[in-house]
Amino acid sequence: MGHKLSTKEKVGFSLGDMAGNFVYQSVVLLLAFYYTDVFGLDAVTVTSIFIFVRIFDAVTDPIMGVLIDRNNSRWGKYRPFLLFLCVPYAIVSVLVFTVPDLGIEGKTIYAYVTYALLMLLFTATNIPYFALGSVMTSSVKERVSLNSYRFVAATGGGLIITACVLPLADVLGDGDKALGYQQAMIVMAVLSVVLFIICFSSTTERVKPINKDNCGFISNVKQVLKNDQWRLLGLAVLVLVSAQTVKATSAIYYITYYAEDAKTMVAWFLSIWMIGGMLGSAFANKLTLVMCKKNAWVLLCLISALLSVFTYFVAASAFYLIFIIQFFVGFFNQMMAPLITSFMAEVTDYGELKNKNRQDAVIASFTLSSLKVGVAIGGASATYLLSVYGYQSGGVAQSEETISGILTIFTLVPAIGFVITGVIIHQMKLDKKTVEQNEMLLQNLRAEA
């Protein structure tokens, strides 16, 4: 059996994702709105920034994954990256939410550069963090439990962002939105550094790979691409995150311009999603006790699609119903997150048995690439569709056509993505029986090594 993790270690590990989500959720939930309504860029320019930066950054992920897997130090293979890069990561996150005193061209260049740096540092901290969870224990059950803790904390980080950043920006900015966002992000950045250090100091890397030698970069890449289960997982993550990002990006526009008398409730609307997500993450482990993870993921995709479609028919005046649905959207959507990360570890196990080479960081990097391309596609799709429907930047009143378009973007577009994700996951062969067999085979091989 794999190592049983203590509650203290699970909590310590989970705080790393809370720290990372201070930035990730700020980007997903707030950055598009910040760029259009505070920074002063038009929706088309924001679309081009999202596409260029996120896809370029996704291309660098496999390179970073190979480099990280080759690292060996007295602190471990993955943990040192959290310790030494958390401060640069925090500093750049503040720079992204800082409006420079430049013309529109200078501000556009500044946005490209700072956002690109932020995503590179996101890569350099999150790939080792993803991989760390796979090597803390080889137990399938413990991994699901560990990732449930992780995503409760991750969603908690998102809740802190949605509940605190906008109110903090109002208070600290004293009427100056640009200054307010910057000051609020400084608070979040300092907290993220503290949490990364706690994560580093409270975790241990235990799982040792069967392979003794590092193979070349091309060989690593080929092995991942030959892993048929990763190909399905990577595609599922790309489609799912695209759908989730469209929904998350358009959420602030939906509550601001579609829902009646709700402009002052933006922080509450985004926070209720996070509260639902925290509870969903906590219940993910219990769901896997009563049904196969693969079937659970498919079911959650279908429920999420139905909720999104139902939201389309909810009247703009149905304030309480809008908030209730938002809670359950967060609940069922975030239940998928621990399953994804657990599947990533099991795909790594599958590849290790198949190729006799363990690739935790490389698999993590390719999965993160899929996630980032999904964020790029989702964010760019949302802002592009806003421009198609005639959205006007600067916080001005929108036309009826634009408001109708915002409703479609927030509801029907993500629903399609959720359904496609469920179809992809249904094709995977890593059901409960296969996963448990792989776990036992690897334990026997390590015992013989």
Q: Are 293 and 342 in contact (CB under 8 A)?
A: yes
Max CA pair span of the chain: 69
Residue 144 within any structural domain of the chain: yes
The span from the CA of 120 to the CA of 125, in Å, is 9
pLDDT at site 154: 81
- Provide the residue range defining the domain that includes 292: 8-203+217-448
Q: Are 326 and 307 in contact (CB under 8 A)?
A: no
pLDDT at site 319: 84
Supply 247's token pair.
């929904």
Q: Model pTM greater than 0.85?
A: no
pLDDT tens per residue across span 187-230: 999 999 999 999 999 999 887 766 555 566 677 778 888 888 88
Of 410, 392, 397, the residue nearest 250 (C-alpha) = 410
Residue 110 within any structural domain of the chain: yes
Residue 211 within any structural domain of the chain: no
Of 3, 241, 13, 18, the residue nearest 147 (C-alpha) = 13
Residue 179 within any structural domain of the chain: yes
Residue 180 within any structural domain of the chain: yes
314: how many CB neighbours lie within 10 A of its CB? 16
Q: Per-residue confidence at 282, pLDDT binned at 50, 70, 90?
A: confident
Q: What is the number of structural domains in the chain?
A: 1
Top mean pLDDT of 166-175, 204-213, 265-274 is at 166-175
pLDDT at site 199: 95
Cα angle, residue 340 at apex, residues 424 and 140 outer, rounded to 5°: 115
Residue 209 within any structural domain of the chain: no
Residue 346 within any structural domain of the chain: yes
Determine the average pLDDT of the residues in 320-325: 92
The span from the CA of 414 to the CA of 417, in Å, is 5
CATH of residue 259's domain is 1.20.1250.20
What is the distance in angstroms between the CA of the first residue and the CA of the last residue of the chain?
Answer: 16
Residue 97 within any structural domain of the chain: yes
